[in-house]
Amino acid sequence: MRLPRLDSLTHCLSCSLILTALLGCSGSADSDDATGTDGTDSGPSGTTSPGNTAATSAGVTNTTASAGPSGFTASTTTSGSQVTSGGVTSGNVTSSGGPSGTTGSDGGNGSGGGSSTGGPSNSVGTTGDPFGSTGDTVGTTTASSGGGGTGNTGCDAVGFYVEGTSVYDVNCNEFVMRGVNVPHAWFSSNTQGAFSDAASVGANTVRVVLATGGQWSRTSGSTLSQIISWAKDNRLVAMLEVHDSTGFGESAAAVHPDDAVNYWTSSEVLGAITGQEAYVMINIANEPFGNTESTQWSSFHQEAVQTLRAAGLKHLLVVDAPNWGQDWEEIMRNDEDSAATNVFNADPDRNVLFSVHMYDVYGSASAVTGYIDTFLGHGLPLVVGEFAADHGAGKNVEEAAIMSKAESSRIGYIGWSWSGNGGDLGSLDITQNFNVSSLTDWGSTIIHGTSGIMETAQTCSCFD
């Protein structure tokens, strides 16, 4: 049964963020998740750009958010290697290190040649020979790694991957996201501090708002490298998303989602994300379809995942739901005409995670549990990529049910947003003025509440 198109399902988050950024205010950010006819995905500098809404009627007037602050320049990082020894009792034994941390083969031409183990189960090492060096006469081998941890013997994962409805890390350990959205595109000077603060209260993931240049200042490859480095420094997994196509088809300011695909496949961005598969997920485009173009959702993403794979991306790819991410038409939820299954199967790697943004469409516990149970019933993986305690005045979100159901279903959740939401969406801020010592009511709930971040988050084993 489809949800009614109600005017009460309005989402205006990104625009309010933009306004704050331009005015230099302390509190407005992109609350880009919406439902409703007149949803607004707010960007910095506080002008309203159409957000995620389950529209009540067509013909909503959308205004364009102005450009937010530009990003930082970044430095590059390298990761270390690990050496392990295999014992030999006699004979000349040659042992080879597996690709970037897989188990080495038994030595030949000698008796008692023990199997030597390579580095962590991670094939994305950035230093050393990715295939390990040849063992010497005492069976010692070396294999380089991208710093992906110690891992399970025999695990040969490149990075995050899905199996059934679960997400696993490079060490083949299950990983359940508990995190926050950080509005880098509009508040770039606060990004590094936000990462550190989010980690200090237990978050294991940050979903980072970036821009292609379609609406806001482009996040460069060098800045992207710095963002990834900051996340790794704080043992945070980074889910990277670009915001410029939010609400395409309904938002006049939104650029076609192909713009997002072109961003990820550009040489400078590829250079920043390649080799970071153990720490980074790619959220192709934030809420790329509003309420008027949702029929394009499946076909666009089928083509997008194939294009990204052809360009060499090996990352876990994240696909946002239609209808400003809230999927009130239930196209993704019900796998209507195999819409979600076809996206998953279009990926030659079969490595796609689906994301729903839960705002006022999910104002009851039954709506929350019904959605999650139905979608997982298709055997596909799900994350709640954005949610809050409300979506503005009078627009309740059943956040307690979201956190509880996510915990019992072992799926991830990422709260919107660390700070910067403007207008009547200030209640969506987790902190006041980016100050972790001053949590809002919503911030206290997601961090300290039952099934909250402090209670349920576990650091990814990729950092072990």
Distance of alpha carbon 457 from alpha carbon 205, whole angstroms = 9
Whether the pLDDT of residue 347 is over 50: the answer is yes
Q: Are residues 128 and 243 in the same domain?
A: no
Q: Are residues 340 and 216 in the same domain?
A: yes
Q: In this predicted structure, what is the pLDDT of residue 187?
A: 98
Contact 229, 76 (CB under 8 A): yes
pLDDT per position as a tens digit, 361-405: 999 999 999 999 999 999 999 999 999 999 999 999 999 999 999
Q: Are residues 322 and 442 in the same domain?
A: yes
Read out DSSP for 141-182? EEEE-SS--S--TT----S-EEETTEEE-TTS-B---EEEEE
Whether 428 maps to a domain, the answer reads: yes
Contact 199, 206 (CB under 8 A): no
Whether 12 maps to a domain, the answer reads: no
E runs forming strands in 52-195? 81-85, 140-144, 161-163, 166-168, 178-182
Can you tell me the mean pLDDT for 1-10? 34
Q: Are residues 267 and 323 in the same domain?
A: yes
Poorest-pLDDT segment among 5-9, 145-149, 448-452, 453-457: 5-9
Q: In this predicted structure, what is the pLDDT of residue 228?
A: 98
Q: In this predicted structure, what is the pLDDT of residue 229?
A: 98
Whether 21 maps to a domain, the answer reads: no
Q: Are residues 272 and 395 in the same domain?
A: yes
Beta partners for residue 282, in sequence order: 240, 317
Q: In this predicted structure, what is the pLDDT of residue 418?
A: 98
Q: How far is CA 286 from the centre of its chain?
A: 10
Greatest mean pLDDT range, 55-69, 83-97, 145-159, 339-353: 339-353
> Which one of the listed residues 241, 250, 287, 329 is annotated catalytic?
287
> Which one of the listed residues 277, 293, 329, 386 is annotated catalytic?
386
Q: Among 100, 118, 147, give the residue marking a domain's end.
A: 147
Q: Are residues 206 and 126 in the same domain?
A: no
Distance of alpha carbon 247 from alpha carbon 440, whole angstroms = 28
Residue that wins the pLDDT comparison between 83 and 21: 21
Give CA separation, 89 vs 114, 118, 140, in Å: 8, 20, 13
Q: In this predicted structure, what is the pLDDT of residue 230?
A: 98
Domain that holds residue 121: 81-147
- Binned at pLDDT 50, 70 and 90, residue 154 comes out as confident
Whether the pLDDT of residue 117 is over 60: the answer is no
Tokens of 138: 């005492």
Poorest-pLDDT segment among 30-34, 68-72, 378-382, 420-424: 68-72
Q: Are residues 199 and 92 in the same domain?
A: no
Whether the CA torsion 407, 410, 415, 418 is positive or negative: it is: positive
Whether 60 maps to a domain, the answer reads: no
Please list, residue by residue across 241-275, b when 16 or more beta carbons sit within 10 angstroms of its beta carbon and e when fewer do.
Answer: bbbbbbbbbbbebbbbbbbbbebbebeebeebbbb
Query: In one letter, which amino acid is 49?
Result: S
pLDDT per position as a tens digit, 164-217: 999 999 999 999 999 999 999 999 999 999 999 999 999 999 999 999 999 999
Contact 246, 65 (CB under 8 A): no
Whether the pLDDT of residue 455 is over 70: the answer is yes
Q: How far is CA 195 from the centre of its chain?
A: 14
Q: In this predicted structure, what is the pLDDT of residue 151?
A: 53
Nearest to 194 by CA among 149, 236, 156, 152: 236
Q: Among 147, 171, 190, give the residue marking a domain's end.
A: 147
Give me the number of domains the chain comprises.
Answer: 2
* Relative orientation angle of helices 339-346 and 297-310, to the nearest 10 degrees: 10
- The kind and range of the H/E element at 207 are strand 205-210
Residue that wins the pLDDT comparison between 78 and 395: 395
Is 386 among the residues known to form the active site? yes
Q: Are residues 141 and 284 in the same domain?
A: no
Helix (H, G, I), strand (E, B) or coil at 346: helix
Contact 195, 164 (CB under 8 A): no
Q: Are residues 323 and 414 in the same domain?
A: yes
Whether the pLDDT of residue 409 is over 60: the answer is yes
Residue that wins the pLDDT comparison between 34 and 392: 392
- Average pLDDT of the chain to the nearest whole number: 78
Whether 5 maps to a domain, the answer reads: no
Nearest to 251 by CA among 102, 32, 17, 21: 32
Tokens of 360: 């006022």
Alpha-carbon radius of gyration of the chain? 22
Q: Are residues 225 and 166 in the same domain?
A: yes
Query: What pTM value is reported for the model?
Result: 0.75
Residue that wins the pLDDT comparison between 334 and 119: 334
Whether the pLDDT of residue 35 is over 90: the answer is no
Q: In this predicted structure, what is the pLDDT of residue 423?
A: 87
Distance of alpha carbon 389 from alpha carbon 381, whole angstroms = 24
Q: Which residues contact 295 (CB under 8 A, 6 or more apart)?
A: none
Distance of alpha carbon 14 from alpha carbon 34, whole angstroms = 10
